[in-house]
């Protein structure tokens, strides 16, 4: 843990992007078709900078055969007419297996049911940096559209040659190519028969515009839905291999503790148990997890612990330990904040804080590792299979070509499954045991040894003119991150800065990153300014916004909600907030009721308008938007990781409260379909406005301004004091 | 110490040998290969491991295998009959009441348990009954809808 802690400094929130080299290697076509069978294959070779973010150094291989470095996706049409798409992206509940399949079917003009996807397998799929940052829909989906368009052209070409006619007049539709002049047609399956045609294509081929989509844009149900409702889908945690052992890892009593003495004589005596000590790693593999735990319990290990700060002191610590001067890339400036404040009719200063929270995906971190002739195969639920492969290779001192990582459709991640911890643990134990080993983290391990959404402090100074227009905006985020840090409002004088602080708890990506923290501070502050200006919060926002898409979602949310709302009872309040990030726009309205006597909070109703360009699958999108609201209300109202001296104090579902059925309000998601705008991702942005919306509603209900997340873990306590 | 016993799961009897306090969950998953029942917390706090024991929903991570030996157990794998989904499974499928779907087995089993004792539950009763089942993806409204739909279909079928 020591080394990990030292390495993980600075920007806790960022996704792991890397740059790509531009080397080109010959494609091993023969090998490719040997494995997939005869047919037609098309590869997308990334040329645009956006797509390059999805590629990175390291060898891409197809059963260890080199492929062009820039390939980001590929497609195969077999002799049976089955269309197979290959992507390094992983499915973990965000429903991209369905949305990508729809896109392929749409562009290739085949039935949805004939498309299957091979995902996130380092031996079978092209390199991909990871499934994060709402990148799949804006980058991977269009690539599949291009690859399908090229495959369609290729099929038309084959038919034209067959019939000895010009390809221009031929039509590809319903999985066949038709010649309208003669009326003859050939099915794709027939055209692919006996062929081994492969084509690389540049990534900028013209594709079907959203206005002409037939299968994309429709609410297709989740692929393999039946496997999920019958329990047949095999997650990583469900894998059982011949002779497999179960692994457990001895955890230090606290973060940063170092081993001072160690005695495993008793544990080693147990038959069928393998004990591994390698550096600071101590683990056991046994025929059952229970026996592995008994073995670990028999190890006498003593640790030297170090005193560490607690969640009580975290915010003052973050302020005191911020880097004296932040790097240029963390600063944005426009005009003069001093002048803007000086000329303001009203000024407002406020400080906001955001607690650490946990992802708590229901499927814990898990991995199954198997060594065969020096080669390692690891099944693990991760968002970054290729990075996991590289980390496994580096940690175990073997070449990357000897490691294969396979990701089964996973029991969620929310940004929490970037690292390869469980994979490394299973691989190390399996190597020692000479048998496959499965490691499944306990819930307590999940809450303790994974990583968190970082805590943060945000300071805002602002000024408005007498007409309610912003004159100055000064925004400083300590530790939580840069995402959506810049204000979408029109402010002539603004300064925005992210201040790095060395990590306290292991922290990393969380759905939306710091967009939630930054929106909480900004939109709470905007609400407070609206009160100062004596303007309606919606009107105040519109007065300071020229971005048409931002205005559109605000107005749509307000309209569906019935803003400004009409109070019909005691303790009732309405709130509104908005924002945009990663190419999509969100505005949220909420109604709360606070019980005057107890301070308890009831979230009654939420309306959220969301716009992410052309909608690929409205059904899947609705699930993501509603899901983000519900997940977000946890962090807004009550979720917080409590810690002291390197220990997590609430590492159980009994103590760390997550949203449950009775917390869920009436929810309306208003989806705005903009077919004229390229599709953006939707996994993250719908979460980021819910916290300030609830906070603003609570202010209206109680007159108490809550500037700290979570807002009301024990109700609105200040009411009674 | 391991103790030989027999447990009845999905209408079949299985001889098993386990220490009596071993949670039923691990016997189902690791010995019988019935992996549809999920581990979520091991503490009875998330409902992912819910099975029916004598018809009532129980957290299998909290049930010692010895206690299970006297009752008939139904897991998610036992709901489908002759290739036909249970109405609750069908309703989850029809309403798209899952995202990552890791909680789905437990949600389905708890809902089956609810509808066995209350064929027409109110909104509040469904929420109350499923309060112990965690869905981290936030699919709760659709799960509620699925239970309502299943209740309706089962009532129609029962008529």
- Select from A378, A414, A326 the least CA-distant residue to A687: A414
- Angle value at C-alpha A521, between A700 and A555, nearest 5 degrees: 60
User: Can you give the pLDDT at residue A719?
Assistant: 52
How are the residues of chain B apportioned to helix, strand and coil, as percentages rounded to the nearest 5?
40, 20, 40
Residue B107 belongs to a domain with what CATH number?
Answer: 1.10.150.120
Question: Of the candidates A209, A229, A249, which is a domain's last residue?
Answer: A229
Nearest CA in chain B to A290: B22
Q: Are residues A511 and A408 in the same domain?
A: no
Q: What is the pLDDT of residue A54?
A: 42
Do A268 and A171 share a domain, yes or no? no
Nearest CA in chain A to B22: A290
Identify the domain containing residue A369 by its residue range. Answer: 236-305+365-440
Strands (E), A479-631: 494-499, 572-581, 584-594, 601-611
Which chain A residues contact residue B142 at CB under 8 A?
A: 623, 626
Q: Is B138–A658 a contact, with Cβ atoms under 8 angstroms apart?
A: no
Looking at the fold, whether B14 and B62 belong to one and the same domain comes out as yes
Q: Please give the Cα distance from B86 to B36 (Å, whole number).
A: 15
Range A669-697 burial, b when 16+ CB lie within 10 A, else e:
bbbbbbeebebbbbbbbbbbbbbbbbbbb
Domain carrying residue B123: 87-158
B31-78 tens-digit pLDDT: 999 999 999 999 999 999 999 999 999 999 999 999 999 899 999 999
Beta-strand ranges (E) seen in A208-257 are 245-249
- pLDDT tens digit sequence for A230-270: 999 999 999 999 999 999 999 999 999 999 999 999 888 78
Give how many domains chain A has, as a whole number: 3
Residue A229: closest C-alpha in chain B: B89
Give the span between the Cα atoms of A440 and A419, in whole angstroms.
Answer: 14
Q: Pairing between strand B3-9 and B72-74?
A: parallel
Position A146 scores a pLDDT of 87
Answer whether 0.90 is exceeded by the pTM.
Answer: yes
Asked if B140 lies within 8 A of A630 by C-beta distance, the reply is yes
| Domain presence at residue A11 | no
Q: Is there a contact between A443 and B43 if contact means CB atoms under 8 Å apart?
A: yes
Task: Count Cβ atoms below 10 Å from residue A320 Cβ, excluding itself.
Answer: 10
pLDDT at A52: 41
Residues B10 and B72 in one domain: yes
User: In the prediction, which pLDDT does A66 show?
Assistant: 40
User: What are the two backbone dihedrals, phi and then psi, of residue A67, each rounded to the nearest 5 degrees?
Assistant: -125, 165
Q: Which chain A residue has the Cα nearest residue B97?
A: A623
Q: Mark the ranges of chain A whose per-residue pLDDT is less than 70.
A: 1-32, 44-72, 201-205, 718-721
End-of-domain residue from the set A377, A412, A440: A440
Is beta strand A647-648 parallel, antiparallel or unpaired with respect to A643-644? antiparallel
B35, B136, B137 ranked by CB distance to A234: nearest: B35
Establish if A20 belongs to a structural domain. no
Do A531 and A584 lie in a common domain?
yes
Q: Which residue has the tokens 């190890």?
A: A299
Q: Cβ of A84: how many Cβ atoms within 10 Å?
A: 20
Q: Is residue A213 part of a domain?
A: yes
End-of-domain residue from the set B45, B78, B111: B78
**Among partner residues A226, A443, A658, which is closest to B42 by beta-carbon distance?**
A443
Chain A residues near residue B144 by CB distance under 8 angstroms: 661
Q: Which residues pair with B18 in a beta bridge?
A: B3
Question: Is residue A9 in a domain?
Answer: no
Q: Identify whether A10 is part of a domain.
A: no
pLDDT at position A628: 98
pLDDT tens for B121-150 read 999 999 999 999 999 999 999 999 999 999
Output the pLDDT for position A13: 62
Q: Looking at the structure, do residues B133 and B150 belong to the same domain, yes or no?
A: yes
* A161 Cβ neighbours under 8 A, 6+ residues apart: none
Domain co-membership, A647 together with A707: yes
Asked if the structure places residue A170 within a domain, the reply is: yes
Q: Identify the pLDDT of residue A324.
A: 78
Residues A297 and A428 in one domain: yes
**Terminal C-alpha separation, chain A:** 43
Please say which residue of A185, A202, A229 terminates a domain: A229
Query: What's the confidence (pLDDT) of residue A1?
Result: 34
């Amino acid at each position: 843990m020591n080394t990990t802690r030292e390495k993980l400094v600075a920007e806790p929130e960022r996704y792991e992007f890397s740059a790509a080299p531009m080397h080109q290697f010959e494609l091993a076509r023969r090998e490719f078709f040997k494995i997939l069978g005869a047919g037609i294959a098309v590869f997308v070779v990334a040329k645009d900078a956006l797509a390059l973010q999805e590629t990175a150094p390291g060898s891409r291989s197809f059963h260890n055969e080199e492929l062009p470095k820039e390939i980001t996706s590929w497609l195969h049409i077999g002799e049976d007419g089955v269309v197979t798409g290959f992507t390094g992206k992983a499915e973990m509940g965000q429903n991209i297996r369905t949305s990508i399949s729809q896109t392929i079917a749409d562009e290739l003009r085949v039935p949805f049911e004939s498309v299957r996807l091979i995902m996130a397998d380092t031996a079978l799929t092209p390199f991909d940096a990871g499934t994060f940052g709402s990148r799949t829909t804006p980058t991977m989906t269009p690539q599949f559209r291009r690859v399908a368009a090229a495959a369609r052209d290729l099929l038309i070409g084959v038919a034209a040659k067959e019939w000895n006619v010009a390809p221009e007049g031929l039509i590809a539709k319903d999985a066949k190519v038709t010649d309208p002049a003669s009326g003859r047609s050939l099915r794709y399956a027939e055209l692919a028969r006996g062929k081994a045609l492969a084509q690389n294509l540049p990534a900028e081929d013209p594709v079907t515009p959203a206005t002409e989509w037939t299968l994309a844009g429709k609410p297709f149900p989740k692929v393999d839905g039946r496997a999920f409702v019958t329990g047949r889908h095999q997650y990583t945690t469900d894998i059982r291999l011949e002779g497999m052992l179960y692994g457990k890892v001895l955890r230090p009593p606290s973060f940063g503790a170092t081993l001072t003495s160690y005695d495993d004589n008793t544990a080693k005596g147990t038959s069928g148990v393998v004990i591994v000590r390698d550096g600071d790693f101590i683990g056991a593999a046994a025929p059952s997890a229970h026996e592995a735990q008994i073995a670990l319990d028999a190890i006498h290990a003593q640790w030297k612990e170090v005193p560490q700060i607690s969640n009580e002191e975290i915010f003052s610590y973050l302020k005191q330990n911020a880097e004296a001067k932040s790097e240029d890339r963390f600063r944005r400036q426009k005009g003069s904040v001093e002048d803007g404040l000086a000329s303001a009719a009203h000024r407002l200063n406020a400080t906001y804080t955001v607690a650490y929270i946990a992802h708590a995906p229901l499927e814990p971190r898990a991995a199954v590792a198997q060594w065969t002739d020096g080669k390692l195969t690891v099944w693990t639920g991760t968002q970054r299979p290729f990075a996991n492969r590289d980390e496994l290779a580096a940690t175990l001192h073997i070449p990357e070509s000897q490691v294969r990582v396979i990701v089964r459709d996973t029991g969620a991640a929310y940004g929490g499954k970037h690292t390869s911890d469980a994979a490394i643990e299973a691989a190390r134990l399996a190597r020692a045991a000479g048998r496959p080993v499965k490691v499944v983290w306990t819930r307590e391990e999940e809450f303790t040894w994974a990583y968190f959404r970082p805590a943060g402090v945000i300071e805002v100074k602002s000024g408005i003119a007498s007409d309610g227009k912003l004159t100055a905006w000064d925004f400083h985020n300590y530790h939580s991150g840069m995402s959506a840090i810049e204000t979408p409002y029109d402010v002539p004088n603004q300064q925005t800065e992210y201040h790095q602080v060395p990590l306290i708890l292991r922290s990393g990506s969380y759905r939306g990153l710091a967009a939630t923290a930054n929106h909480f501070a900004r939109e709470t502050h905007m609400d407070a300014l609206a009160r100062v200006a004596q303007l309606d919060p919606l009107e105040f926002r519109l007065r300071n916004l020229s971005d048409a898409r931002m205005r559109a979602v605000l107005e749509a949310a307000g309209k569906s909600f019935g803003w400004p709302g009409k109070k019909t009872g005691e303790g009732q309040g309405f709130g509104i907030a908005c924002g945009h990030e990663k190419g999509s726009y969100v505005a949220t309205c909420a109604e709360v009721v606070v019980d005057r006597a107890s301070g308890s909070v009831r979230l009654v109703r939420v309306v959220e308008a969301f716009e992410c360009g052309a909608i690929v699958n409205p059904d899947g999108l609705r699930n993501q938007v509603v899901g983000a609201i519900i997940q977000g209300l946890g962090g807004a109202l009550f979720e917080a990781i409590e810690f002291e001296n390197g220990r997590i104090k609430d590492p159980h579902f009994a103590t760390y409260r997550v949203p449950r059925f009775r917390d869920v309000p009436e929810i309306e998601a208003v989806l705005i379909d903009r077919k004229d705008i390229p599709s953006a991702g939707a996994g993250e942005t719908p979460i980021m406005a819910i916290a300030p919306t609830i906070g603003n509603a609570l202010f209206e209900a109680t007159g108490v301004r809550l500037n700290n997340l979570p807002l009301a873990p024990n109700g609105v306590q200040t009411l009674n004091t | 110490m391991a103790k030989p016993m027999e447990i009845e799961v999905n209408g079949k009897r299985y001889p098993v040998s386990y220490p009596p306090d071993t949670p039923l969950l691990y016997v189902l998953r690791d010995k019988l290969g019935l992996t549809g029942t999920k581990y979520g917390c091991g503490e009875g706090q998330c409902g992912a491991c819910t099975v029916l024991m004598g018809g009532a929903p129980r957290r299998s991570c909290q049930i010692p295998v010895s206690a299970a030996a006297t009752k008939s157990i139904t897991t998610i794998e036992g709901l489908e009959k002759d290739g036909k989904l249970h109405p609750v499974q069908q309703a989850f499928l029809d309403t798209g009441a899952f995202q990552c779907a890791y909680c789905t087995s437990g949600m389905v089993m708890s809902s089956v348990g609810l509808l066995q004792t209350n064929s027409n539950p109110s909104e509040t009763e469904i929420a109350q009954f499923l309060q112990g089942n965690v869905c981290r993806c936030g699919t709760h409204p659709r799960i509620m809808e699925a239970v309502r739909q299943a209740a309706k279909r089962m009532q129609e079928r029962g008529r």
